[in-house]
């Protein structure tokens, strides 16, 4: 399989060819003479001439061009070529030639997404692996192992489809059809409102608190509880009970229903260690013995509770640390309303913005309860690609299972026909275009950090990473970058297609071209702007 360099060249080569092919084909159709069609800049590597056009591949693969007769005001042409020169063509023809490149970049992703969506694909099914105990699904009676068949009458086949049905649906009962033990039943669930925010957009969606992942059985232990007296600690993972393996929470509940009397628990415990300035955790296996609590279900039978509301990490310098929260503390309430999981906390915080609130928690050290007024504050972090962002953050994190700790989710094969795949592709491209426009607007208004810009190094990294995930991911990346190129080239910046399109409109309206001197100055300004933008992107690549 091709590695990073080969994939990077294919990615750029295909997108450049698509863009320049748009200019080339429309120029030919409009009768404009095309002298050279080049993929890449600089010295020619190889090529051939057919008819009046030279086709070549050049050394530097970071662009390409279509050289048309008469595309420079100072170019001297024969009378025959002058009639077919670009600047001598009617304004509407020049507009079509100029806009064809970006349009091809915007249409090409429809074909890519059609290929991605068409045919059979494996996806995560709607089988519920985990139910948040503090969320509406648990209150309504949805259980791990249930399969969600429909939401408000709309059939769903994948977990992604199911999540998408809750956009704009919250605060009112929603009939959800679930399949349990081969029988279907309708359960009314009232989703909680959640604001899904990004640097340029916010979407209100409902959340019911289910996940397709089967989570390991990890405990939360309060000081003085029966679990604490037996020797359990918060974030211990139960590996087995009386020699019976416990792979996840569902297995824990099932086995505890069968067992009575004394229990021997084998646990995995993470012990904090410090080596110099570095901090980490070392796993160890411990065994504890205790009595099962009668008439109790699940973790309550062990005198423990779910770890969902226990603080695992407190970010240094955050509002939470300044207020005194520590790892092992248990969240109790926000503005007097009980908190039973970090998921509920994130939903409430998403609606508060910078508004101060009262947070109550119980100390994991002494069991004392504290209440203080806090507010979220910007917290700067870098993602895996090195992009910086500063969202509002309280500064606490709950326990999150690693990928290795999550047992495999249930899969389903979904097959899309040609019509359905094409419709899905046609709908997703305008959605991404809208997001791109918002990002560009955010950059211009400084609502989006310039540090999010990326150049060739970032594209190389993305190409290599997407290939590791599979061809579908690589094709999706190609589609997104193609859309990005199409949108960017339509900006009215000198030397980009958008400025040439503006020039054609100017001439059509004013009945005379933009003065040569103005065009020359604009070209220089545009070149400087483009070099500054590329320099900024390259600087971001290096600093990442």
CB 389 within 8 A of CB 381: yes
The residue behind tokens 């996806």 is 123
Whether residue 159 contacts residue 410, with contact meaning beta carbons closer than 8 Å, is answered with: no
**Nearest by Cα to 213 from 469, 342, 343, 403:** 403
Residue 278, token pair as written in the block: 């570095």
Rounded Cα distance, 215 and 279, in Å: 26
Residue 217: count other Cβ atoms within 10 Å of its Cβ. Answer: 27
Structural tokens at position 353? 């913005």
- Classify residue 213 as left (phi > 0), alpha (psi -120 to 50) or beta: beta
Distance CA 326, CA 316 (A): 10
Secondary structure in 3-state letters for 452-501: HCCCHHHHHHHHHHHHHHCHHHHHHHHHHHHHHHHHHHCCCCCCCHHHHH
SS3 of 409, please?
coil
Are 192 and 206 spatial neighbours (Cβ–Cβ below 8 Å)?
A: yes
User: What is the three-class DSSP state of 121?
Assistant: strand
- CA gyration radius for the chain? 30
Whether 54 is a known active-site residue: answer: no
Catalytic member of 20, 249, 305, 507: 20
Question: For 37-69, b where at least 16 C-beta lie within 10 A, e where not — what string?
Answer: bbbbeeeeeeeeeeeebbebebeebeebbbebb
Nearest CA among 385, 389, 380, 391 for reference residue 544: 385
- Rounded Cα distance, 298 and 238, in Å: 12
**8 Å CB contact between 177 and 186:** yes
CB 508 within 8 A of CB 91: yes
Bridge pairing between strands 192-197 and 244-245: unpaired
Q: By three-state DSSP, how is residue 260 classified?
A: coil
Residue 218 pairs with which residues in a beta bridge?
237
Catalytic residue IDs: 20
């Amino acid at each position: 399989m091709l590695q990073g360099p080969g994939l990077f060249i294919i990615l750029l080569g295909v997108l450049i060819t698509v863009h320049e092919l748009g200019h080339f084909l429309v120029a030919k159709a409009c009768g404009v003479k095309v002298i050279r069609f080049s993929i890449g800049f600089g010295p020619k590597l190889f090529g051939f001439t057919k008819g009046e056009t030279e086709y070549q591949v050049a050394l530097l693969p970071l662009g390409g061009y279509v050289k048309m007769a008469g595309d420079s005001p100072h170019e001297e042409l024969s009378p025959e070529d002058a009639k077919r020169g670009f600047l001598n063509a009617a304004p509407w023809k020049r507009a079509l030639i100029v806009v064809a490149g970006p349009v091809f970049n915007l249409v090409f992703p429809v074909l890519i997404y059609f290929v991605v969506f068409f045919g059979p694909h494996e996806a995560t099914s709607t089988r519920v692996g985990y139910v948040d105990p503090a969320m509406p699904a648990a209150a309504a009676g949805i259980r791990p192992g249930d399969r969600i068949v429909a939401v408000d009458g709309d059939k769903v086949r994948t977990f992604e489809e199911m999540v998408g049905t809750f956009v704009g649906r919250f605060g009112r009962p929603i009939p959800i059809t679930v399949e349990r033990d081969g029988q279907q039943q309708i359960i009314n669930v009232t989703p909680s409102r959640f604001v899904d925010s990004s640097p340029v957009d916010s979407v209100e969606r409902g959340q019911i608190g289910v996940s397709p992942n089967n989570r390991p059985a990890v405990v939360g232990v309060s000081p003085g509880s029966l679990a604490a007296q037996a020797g359990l600690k918060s974030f211990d993972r139960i590996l087995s009970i009386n020699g019976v393996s416990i792979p996840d929470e569902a297995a824990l509940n099932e086995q505890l229903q069968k067992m009575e009397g004394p229990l021997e628990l084998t646990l995995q415990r993470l012990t904090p260690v410090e080596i110099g300035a570095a901090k980490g955790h070392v796993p160890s296996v411990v065994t504890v013995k205790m009595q099962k609590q009668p008439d109790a279900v699940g973790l309550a039978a062990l005198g423990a509770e779910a770890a969902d509301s226990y603080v695992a990490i407190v970010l240094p310098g955050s509002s939470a640390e300044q207020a005194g929260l520590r790892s092992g503390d248990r969240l109790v309430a926000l503005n007097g309303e009980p908190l039973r999981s970090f998921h509920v906390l994130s939903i409430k915080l998403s609606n508060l913005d910078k508004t101060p609130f009262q947070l109550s928690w119980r100390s994991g050290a002494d069991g004392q309860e504290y209440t203080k007024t806090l507010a979220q504050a910007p917290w700067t972090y870098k993602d895996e690609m090195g992009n910086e962002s500063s969202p509002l953050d309280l500064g606490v994190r709950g326990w999150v299972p690693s990928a290795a700790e999550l047992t495999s989710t249930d899969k389903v094969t979904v097959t899309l026909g040609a019509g359905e795949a094409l419709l899905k592709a046609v709908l997703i491209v305008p959605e991404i275009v809208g997001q791109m426009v918002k990002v560009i607007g955010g950059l211009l208004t400084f609502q989006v950090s310039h540090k999010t810009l990326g150049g060739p190094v970032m594209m190389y990294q993305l190409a290599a990473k997407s290939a590791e995930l599979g061809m579908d991911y690589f094709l999706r990346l190609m589609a997104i970058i193609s859309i990005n190129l199409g949108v960017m080239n339509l900006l009215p910046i000198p030397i980009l297609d958008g400025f040439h399109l503006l020039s054609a409109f100017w001439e059509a309206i004013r009945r005379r071209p933009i003065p040569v001197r103005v065009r020359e100055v604009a070209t220089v300004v545009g070149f400087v702007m483009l070099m500054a933008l590329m320099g900024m992107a390259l600087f971001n690549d290096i600093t990442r």
